Amino acid sequence: MEQQDAAARYREAVTVLPSRLRAAALALSETRQAAAEEIRLRAGRAMTVLLPDGEVSTGAWVESEDLETLCDIATEFSRYAAAETLRDGFLSVRGGFRVGLCGTAVMKDGVNTNLKQFSSAVIRIGRERRDIAKDLLPQLFRENRFMNTLLLSPPGGGKTTLLRDLVRQLSAGTEAYGARRVALIDERGEVAVTVRGQAQMDIGPHTDVLDACPKAVGIPIVLRAMNPEIIALDEITVPEDIRAVTMAAGCGVGLLATVHATGSAELSEKPLYRDLLERRIFHLAVRIAREGQTRRYEVEEL
């Protein structure tokens, strides 16, 4: 049943493709459909599907016009409505999918205002894995208090999927711990996948989403406007992010964030994250160890 559900999610994702490419994507076996993580299109190249062991070709050639059609389908033929995220190179698609785009940047006064002449696209097949954090969540509390936590893994390791389920469970509450008000700053639109103000993923009943907003800008906004008990963030990547989470921690708000790293030892090797550790903002780290399609979560004190 799990494989069938994963394959069904894949078939839902390929509806954003032009019909010719959609037929090629659907020609993959159900096993490969279930394992697929991304569908990648590059103008002048064959469309590929990313599996856990690498990209495989579908044999279908991608034309520049296919990328334009994909963008039209993804935006429901209203690129203007999606202009804010399109200029940042991604689109949130109804159903809970995300399309990343590359092409020619349209620059004005040193700022990118749009993308045109698309050269490649990637459809990320976001899958909700409900309750994967069920056994992990109790380990992140001390005396009924949520401890500031970092989720660590290399790219593609499952941080976003785990973050989404932790947000959902914190928001919904469990038998041991009551529901918490969660503010999710979803800068890249990958966690909630918000389309026209509505989250396409289940992020819980007490979660407020600030979409497509830099974390350093978003943290003060949700602190002033939403009175959160926990702030959840996608990738911490720049010094401004660290200054913002430091400010939030000083306000007594719980923090849950993701970082590209194999473990806490790697954090101390990078100046940006070494600064984060020295400030002692986060108390726990969850290392995501991936073995094929299986993931194991290891909690350690920071």
Kindly state whether residues 75 and 200 are assigned to the same domain: no
Residue linked to tokens 């995300």: 98
Residues 147 and 287 occupy one common structural domain = yes
Q: Which of 103, 124, 145 is the last residue of a domain?
A: 124
Give the pLDDT confidence score for residue 181 in this predicted structure: 96
171 and 110 in a common domain? no
The sign one gets for the Cα dihedral 295, 16, 10, 165 is: positive
Q: Helices (DSSP H) in 102-261: which residue ranges?
A: 159-172, 215-225, 239-250
Exposure letters 63-97 (e unless 16+ CB within 10 A, then b): eeebbebbbebbbeeeeeebeebbebbbbbbeebb
Q: Are residues 176 and 230 in the same domain?
A: yes
pTM, entire model: 0.84
Same domain flag for 146 and 10? no
Task: Tell me whether residue 171 is in a domain.
Answer: yes
Q: How many domains does the chain have?
A: 2
Residue corresponding to tokens 């991304």: 38
Question: Looking at the structure, do residues 198 and 243 belong to the same domain, yes or no?
Answer: yes
Is residue 130 situated within a structural domain?
Answer: no
82 shares its domain with 174: no
Greatest extent of the chain over all pairs of C-alpha atoms, in Å: 58
Task: Map tokens 């209203």 to a residue.
Answer: 78
Mean pLDDT, rounded, for 251-274: 89
Residues 110 and 157 occupy one common structural domain:
no
Q: What are 159's two structure tokens?
A: 């941080």
Structural domain ending residue among the three candidates 124, 159, 185? 124
Last residue in a domain, options 124, 145, 180: 124
CATH number at residue 102: 3.30.450.90
The whole domain housing 24 covers 2-124
CATH number for position 224 = 3.40.50.300
Residue type, 136: L
Torsion angle (degrees, nearest 10) of CA 224, 227, 228, 229: 130
Q: Hey, which residues does 207 pair with through a beta bridge?
A: 182
204 vs 230: CA distance, rounded Å: 13
User: Are 146 and 289 part of one and the same domain?
Assistant: yes
**118, part of any domain:** yes
**Is 112 a member of any domain?**
yes
**Shared domain check, 157 and 258:** yes
Whether 116 is in a domain gets the answer yes
* 89-147: pLDDT as tens digits: 888 888 889 899 999 988 888 887 788 899 999 999 988 888 899 999 999 999 889 99
In a domain, 269, yes or no: yes
For residue range 148-202, list pLDDT tens digits in order: 999 999 887 889 999 999 999 999 998 888 999 999 999 988 899 988 889 999 9
How many alpha carbons lie under 13 Å from residue 22 in its C-beta half-sphere? 12
Asked, for residue 132, whether it belongs to a domain, the answer is: no
Whether residue 211 is found in the same domain as residue 291: yes
Contact 240, 270 (CB under 8 A): no
Give the C-alpha separation, 170 to 148, whole Å: 13
Shared domain for 202 and 94, answered yes or no, is: no
Highest mean pLDDT pick, 21-35, 92-106, 262-276: 21-35
